[in-house]
Structures are given as structure tokens and as C-alpha cells.
Amino acid sequence: MDASALAALLFGEPEAEAIAARLTGARLAAPSLLEYELANVCLTKIRRQPGQRETLRAAFGLAHRLNVETVAVDQASVLDLAEATGLTAYDASYLWLARSLSGELVTLDRRLAAAFA
């Protein structure tokens, strides 16, 4: 799963229910950069909605409860994949991991989803 999918769950975004249904009973894995991306999403939300700071920080703090396994990715392969697909190296990390695990890629990012298809 990528940060867009996890952020939808944590921050109660409209797509959260559909994401949750896709994840039921699944092994959840992501590159270690997921933690940084989630922190950045939270920070962006706090800056846009400073009155919601405590609620957003509390939601961010729940990420560990989802037991997402962080997995090291092969950076050279990720770079090759990013060049081949036009994705950022960040997004290519999620794509590479999904392919290497022969798993499904859960994302709200249309470009990333298209590259996975």
C-alpha cells in the first residue's frame, strides 16, 4: 500500500471505506519511505487546518496499529523502474515492491495505479 491509501484511512478521507475493504485480511507492506510520506501528509493537513492539529496528530499516531511491514527496496531497480515508467523514485518504490511481492498495489494515485496495471 502507498501513502495515499494509508492517509485516506488515517485521516478519514472519503475513499477510506473502499480502501479498508480492499485491505481486509491482507498482508500490508510498503517501502520504509511510507513513514516519511505519512508525516508529510499530516504536516500538510496541519498547516491547512491548524485548528485540527491535535486530531490530525492523533490520527497520525494510529498508523502503527495497521501493522504495515516496511520492506527495503532495491534502489537501483527502483531507479530503472522510475526511468521506464516516468514515475518519481518514491512512487516507483511502491510499484517495485508490489511487483517483487507479486501483490496488489493499493493506491489512490492514478498514475501509479496505471503503471501497476
* CATH code of the domain in which 8 resides: 3.40.50.1010
The answer on pLDDT for 64 being more than 90 is no
The answer on pLDDT for 8 being more than 90 is yes
**Residues spanned by the domain of 46:** 3-116
Domain count, the chain: 1
User: In the chain, which ranges are continuous DSSP H helix?
Assistant: 3-10, 16-23, 34-48, 53-60, 75-85, 89-100, 110-116
The Cα–Cα gap between 67 and 27 comes to 9
The Cα–Cα gap between 80 and 90 comes to 12
The Cα–Cα gap between 56 and 110 comes to 25
Average pLDDT for residues 39-58, to the nearest whole number?
A: 97
Helix (H, G, I), strand (E, B) or coil at 72: coil
* HSE (side-chain half, CA atoms, 13 Å) at 40: 7
Q: What confidence tier does 97 reach under pLDDT thresholds 50, 70, 90?
A: very high
pLDDT at 91: 96
pLDDT digits (tens, 9 = 90+) for 104-115: 999 999 999 999
pLDDT digits (tens, 9 = 90+) for 66-80: 889 999 999 999 999
Instruction: Write down the pTM of the prediction.
Output: 0.89
Mean of the per-residue pLDDT values for the chain? 95
